[in-house]
């Protein structure tokens, strides 16, 4: 596998480093889910957990929306998969969900996040439209790297339980 994070020059600026590392983690999610049919994307690797690969894709689409649109752009269009506010709701009701539709939504959210990122300096301060929390673009990019890194670890374990493979 080609890891483009390590192709950056040692003196790459902070924005380049943050966006490159975040995009690498976004691609890792796609790689981990690649080649699986919907039934396997919906499979729970641990019977007591509601984590699935498809649920992680849906969750991360919502997280992209929450932080970039709701936080940085101060224009939250509403939740993608949660209606009641119940914790983990984006991992539920997957019976009719498909990888194709879920990844299309996720890709659209990622593209919106990239546009919002490109339009602002790292120091840009915003107030989350729902929580009132003050956020900088720098903070959000770092948080998103952390969010993807944690969930990509979950995705690796789920994929390994499905067919013995792990993400690259």
Ramachandran angles phi, psi of 135, nearest 5°: -135, 145
d(CA 158, CA 43): 8
| CA atoms of 146 and 115, how far apart (whole Å) | 20
How many H-runs (helices) and E-runs (strands) does the chain carry?
A: 5, 2
Alpha carbon distance 18, 8 (integer Å): 11
DSSP3 helix / strand / coil % (the chain, rounded to 5)? 60, 5, 40
User: What residue spans define the domains of the chain?
Assistant: 38-163
- Supply the pTM of this predicted model: 0.92
Superfamily classification of domain 38-163: dinb family like domain (1.20.120.450)
CB 54 within 8 A of CB 97: yes
Question: Backbone dihedral region of 86: left (phi > 0), alpha (psi from -120 to 50 degrees) or beta?
Answer: beta
Residue 32 has pLDDT above 90, yes or no: yes
Helix (H/G/I), strand (E/B), else coil: 127: strand
pLDDT of residue 86: 73
Give the model's pLDDT for residue 67: 95
Choose among 19, 22, 78, 87: nearest CA to 55: 87
pLDDT tens readout for residues 146-164:
999 999 999 999 999 999 9
């Amino acid at each position: 596998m080609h890891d483009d994070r390590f192709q950056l020059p040692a003196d790459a600026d902070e924005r380049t480093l943050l966006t490159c590392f975040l995009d690498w983690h976004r691609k890792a999610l796609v790689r981990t889910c690649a080649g699986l049919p919907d039934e396997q994307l919906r499979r729970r690797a641990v019977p007591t957990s509601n984590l699935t690969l498809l649920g992680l894709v849906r969750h991360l689409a919502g997280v992209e929306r929450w932080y970039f649109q709701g936080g940085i752009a101060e224009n939250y269009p509403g939740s993608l998969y949660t209606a009641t506010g119940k914790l983990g709701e984006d991992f539920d009701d997957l019976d009719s969900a498909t990888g194709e539709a879920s990844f299309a939504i996720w890709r659209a959210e990622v593209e919106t996040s990239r546009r919002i990122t490109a339009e602002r300096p790292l120091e840009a301060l915003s107030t989350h439209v729902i929580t009132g929390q003050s956020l900088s673009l720098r903070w959000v990019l770092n948080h998103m790297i952390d969010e993807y890194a944690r969930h990509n670890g979950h995705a690796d374990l789920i994929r390994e339980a499905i067919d013995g493979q792990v993400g690259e």
